Structure 1
Amino acid sequence: MKDTIRTPLAALGVLLCALCASAQEKPHAGSTRGVIDINKTGRPADAISLIGEAGYALVPEKEAPTRWVFEKGVLTAPQGWESLVTKDTYRDFRLHVEFSVNEVKDVADPEKNGNSGIYIQQRYEIQILNSYGVAEKDYKASYGGSVYQLKKPDRLVSKKAGEWQSYDIVFRAARFTGETKTENARVTVYQNQQLIHDDYAIPRKTGAGQKEGPEPRPILFQGHNNPVRFRNTWIQPLTLD
């Protein structure tokens, strides 16, 4: 009798575990989880190239000639304070960015070492910085991989300066009724194929970001007086409702 009861119960347990695992793998309404399968490589068919072998689809944030340099598929920021933005605006999306930071030796301010950033909707910055080798106890929410000044990465996985790294970002824009925010923006970020932010609810804009609002805005690639390099960058518009 015991064996007879145990067998159906065991089967039910296996079924429930399988259903739970399946649910965790699929995207959920209102969430940025489950969109990226980090084990699958390659660009989705409907993704839009922002930086590729043939050129780049970014324009100066301000109306002025750009000093960013493009050569052989690599776009390099200038020694200055000028940023580039996407030509289009985006609401929900998946973004893949490959970047390589420079090294500034003997600098008093760590934020002057390999600094750049990806400003989602020109509002929320995922920090780019030369933060390799910083101990966890010393790591600040303004270092590489952080949602700037709001949250440190869950794992410290930055590579050495000069090595190519990647961010894979899924973003769900804040929701508004009129001018009233009803839901925070949410973000999931993988750095170098490691999960560093898991559907984090962003409570407000970061640093020098634009004011939150219902309208979509461009993605900004920050020029922060460091020759940070970018390549193989694309964006896939999504609808995460």
Structure 2
Amino acid sequence: MKPATIKLNVLTALLFTASAVMAQQKPYVSTPPATSPMAMKPEMTEIWNPEVKTITPGKKDSEAPSDAIVLFDGKNLDQWVSQRDKNKPAPWKIVNNEYMEVVPGSGGIETKLSFGDCQLHIEWSAPDTVEAGGQNRGNSGIFFQNRYELQVLDSYNNRTYRNGQAGSVYKDQAPLVNAMRTPLEWNTYDVIYTAPRFKANGDLDAPARITVLHNGVVVQNNATIAGLTLYIGLHNYPAAHGEDVISLQDHSCKTQFRNIWIRRL
């Protein structure tokens, strides 16, 4: 037999043997395991119940949605009391059935209801006539849980310390930008407030946080509140506490407020 023929027969035998071995093995099937995302169906990640609650939003962004508590609509101060004496009505003045005006020297006012996590809408303005500057121009404040202050101040062309101007968490977080309108215009705050959390032993577990839109502009972006608002001294967290009132400050300025509503979160 010629060498070429011998080589051909050997190659044929090797190919036959390899084919036989492969035939005995199970064929590979490209089927993903049941735990693989490729094996899932779209409906497996759909959540249907409970159905999301339906509410009716305001016709304008500034109007209260159907699940909000209206704290002031220009008609009365029934949702508020005097901060000096909670058994007395709020001593501030209602003007033109539209807005309330701080009566300097009368003291602050606070809500009858208490709140923790919340969404707050409030509109405010300084007096039309500019009579002072710095911290004496339209100064007031919005206190969440009666402890943590979002500053109210006419910061239009009015230089002061950055963590004390409009949109600041007073003496704590400065606003990202100054979005103040002129004294002849109304300003809006839309606030998402997250109350602090405390451990069972009373120690702080998580600090309060706040997001603020000033005239539609983000000026506090989920900012951490360092603690109790203090005029003098460093911030700190007081003893553990729960829900508390929203209060508005009397800083001896005729600041004005209107269209106040709140939603519990």
TM range (shorter): 0.7 to 0.9
- Tell me what 1:140 maps to: 162
**1:47 and 1:236 in contact (8 A); partners too:** yes
Of residues 185, 201, 208, the one that matches 1:163 is 185
List per-residue Cα deviations over 1:143-173 (Å, max 9, x = no partner).
1111001111101101112311000011010
Residue identity matched to 1:93: C
Residue identity matched to 2:72: I
Q: Superposed, which structure 2 residues align to 1:30-49 within 5 Å?
A: 40-49=61-70
Quote the Cα distance in structure 2 between the aligned partners of 1:212 and 1:90: 17
Change in Cα spacing, 1:220 to 1:177, as seen in structure 2 (3 Å) is: same
Tell me how far 1:67 sits from its aligned partner: 3.2
Q: What TM-score, normalized to structure 2?
A: 0.69
Q: What TM-score, normalized to structure 1?
A: 0.75
Q: Does 2:91 align with 1:67?
A: yes
Equivalenced residues, count: 196
Q: Which has the higher relative contact order, 1 or 2, with Cα contacts under 8 A spaced 6 or more apart?
A: 1
List per-residue Cα deviations over 1:116-154 (Å, max 9, x = no partner).
01011111111011110246xx65211111100111110
**2:179 and 2:214 in contact (8 A); partners too:** yes
Quote the Cα distance in structure 1 between the aligned partners of 2:194 and 2:252: 30
Q: Does 2:252 align with 1:225?
A: yes
List per-residue Cα deviations over 1:71-126 (Å, max 9, x = no partner).
3121100121500001011110000000011254355xx11111001011111111
The structure with the larger Rg is: 2
Q: CA RMSD in A?
A: 2.1
Tell me how far 1:223 sits from its aligned partner: 1.0
- Tell me what 1:98 maps to: 123
Quote the Cα distance in structure 2 between the aligned partners of 1:47 and 1:165: 20
- Tell me what 2:262 maps to: 235
**1:117 and 1:125 in contact (8 A); partners too:** yes
Q: Does 2:74 align with 1:53?
A: yes
**1:104 and 1:112 in contact (8 A); partners too:** no
**2:83 and 2:110 in contact (8 A); partners too:** yes
Change in Cα spacing, 1:47 to 1:206, as seen in structure 2 (3 Å) is: same
- Tell me what 1:206 maps to: 229
List per-residue Cα deviations over 1:33-90 (Å, max 9, x = no partner).
xxxxxx9553221100111032231111121564310131211001215000010111
Identical amino acids, percent of aligned pairs: 30
Instruction: Tell me which stretches of 4 or more aligned residues in structure 1 moved more than 3 Å.
Output: 39-42, 64-67, 208-212
Of residues 230, 235, 242, the one that matches 1:215 is 242
Quote the Cα distance in structure 2 between the aligned partners of 1:47 and 1:76: 23
Tell me how far 1:205 sits from its aligned partner: 1.1
Q: Does 2:116 align with 1:88?
A: no
Of residues 122, 144, 149, the one that matches 2:171 is 149
